[in-house]
């Protein structure tokens, strides 16, 4: 039984990746900035601020995981692709992204502590499989996880319960023995909560919420708070 106050031991932790383990939004914003600078340098005659505003909006609405976002932007805006501008923008974007993609301070330590405690660790991400692995491997986090599930593995995005159910089955655990950590109340928290998995909102990205969300059982305002919360559960 899992009534209120029932003792439960956390045996597994499920993590989202973006804006939970890795500072994804800020990385992308900086990469967007660098790509717009490169467009201007290559002769796209526009002032930086207006082009930056325009491309940034286009990117966040349309292209978070779109590998052809630059082509689409140029085609929709100018009706054609200027290849030197396109190539320069893509190069600047990639260079910036690779150079700055990093985990949140304390994230690696948290994973080490959880592993030392003997907990099973899983990833449940809505990113495409290759993108998820590129990010996890870039920060050397992939080896910490017993199970890595992406949208390509599950077939549906969070908050659908399928990904959570696969993890419970693989680990042979009950929902009450698991914790989900993510930055999105509507996807990460809701999906887990529906099944009775405890939820911790990772509320420290540049898009953090002002108020706590009722779908989160706990809210962490830094990575180090996650460890404190899990130790208490
Ligand atoms: Mg996320």
CA of 24 to the centre of ligand 1 (A): 8
Note whether 157 and 221 are same-domain residues. Answer: yes
CA of 226 to the centre of ligand 1 (A): 15
Supply the mean pLDDT for the chain: 93
CA of 86 to the centre of ligand 1 (A): 28
pTM for the whole thing?
Answer: 0.86
37 CB-near residues (< 8 Å, 6+ apart): 48, 92
State which of 100, 122, 150 marks the end of a domain.
100
Which of the four pLDDT bands, split at 50, 70 and 90, describes residue 98?
A: confident
How far is residue 80's CA from residue 65's CA, in Å, rounded to a whole number? 22
CA of 181 to the centre of ligand 1 (A): 9
At 79, is the secondary structure helix, strand, or coil? coil
Domain that holds residue 90: 25-100
CA of 124 to the centre of ligand 1 (A): 10
CA of 78 to the centre of ligand 1 (A): 32
Please give the order of strands across the beta sheet that includes 12-15: 147-149, 120-124, 12-15, 178-182, 198-202, 218-220
- Structural domain tally of the chain? 2
pLDDT tens-digit map of 163-188:
999 999 999 999 999 999 999 999 99
The CA-atom distances, in angstroms, between 193 and each of 48, 113, 182, 226 are 44, 24, 12, 17
Which of the four pLDDT bands, split at 50, 70 and 90, describes residue 1?
A: very low
How far is residue 161's CA from residue 25's CA, in Å, rounded to a whole number? 25
Is beta strand 198-202 parallel, antiparallel or unpaired with respect to 147-149?
A: unpaired
DSSP-derived letter for residue 104 is P
Smallest CA-to-CA distance from 209 within 192, 191, 226, 184 is with 184
CA of 20 to the centre of ligand 1 (A): 6
pLDDT tens-digit map of 13-26:
999 999 999 999 98
The CATH number of residue 60's host domain is: 1.10.150
Whether the per-residue pLDDT at 8 is higher than 70: the answer is no
pLDDT tens-digit map of 133-165:
999 999 999 999 999 999 999 999 999 999 999
The CA-atom distances, in angstroms, between 51 and each of 16, 28, 37, 87, 229 are 32, 16, 9, 17, 43
How far is residue 230's CA from residue 120's CA, in Å, rounded to a whole number? 13
The CATH number of residue 156's host domain is: 3.40.50.1000
CA of 125 to the centre of ligand 1 (A): 8
CA of 16 to the centre of ligand 1 (A): 6
Note whether 44 and 106 are same-domain residues. Answer: no
CA of 184 to the centre of ligand 1 (A): 6
Percentage of the chain lying above the pLDDT 90 cut: 85
Note whether 133 and 210 are same-domain residues. Answer: yes
Is 89 or 65 the better-scoring residue by pLDDT?
89
Is beta strand 12-15 parallel, antiparallel or unpaired with respect to 178-182?
A: parallel
State which of 100, 126, 156 marks the end of a domain.
100
CA of 42 to the centre of ligand 1 (A): 34
């Amino acid at each position: 039984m899992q009534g209120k106050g029932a003792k439960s031991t956390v045996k597994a932790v499920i993590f989202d990746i973006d804006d939970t383990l890795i500072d994804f939004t800020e990385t992308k914003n900086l990469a967007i900035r660098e790509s717009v600078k490169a467009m201007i340098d290559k002769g796209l005659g526009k002032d930086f601020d207006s082009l930056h505003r325009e491309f940034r909006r286009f990117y966040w609405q349309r292209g978070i995981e779109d590998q052809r976002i630059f082509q689409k932007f140029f085609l929709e805006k100018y009706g054609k692709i200027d290849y030197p501008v396109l190539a320069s923008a893509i190069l600047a974007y990639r260079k910036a992204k690779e150079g700055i993609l990093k985990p949140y301070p304390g994230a690696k330590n948290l994973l080490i502590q959880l592993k030392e405690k003997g907990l099973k660790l899983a990833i449940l991400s809505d990113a495409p499989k290759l993108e998820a692995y590129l990010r996890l491997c870039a920060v050397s986090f992939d080896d910490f996880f017993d199970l890595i599930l992406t949208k390509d593995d599950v077939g549906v995005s969070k908050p659908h319960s399928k990904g959570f159910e696969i993890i419970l089955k693989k680990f042979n655990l009950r929902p009450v023995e698991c914790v989900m950590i993510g930055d999105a109340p509507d996807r990460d928290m809701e999906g887990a909560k529906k099944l009775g998995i405890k939820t911790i909102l990772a509320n420290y990205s540049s898009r953090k919420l002002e108020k706590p969300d009722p779908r989160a059982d706990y809210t962490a305002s830094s990575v180090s708070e996650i460890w404190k919360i899990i130790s208490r559960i």
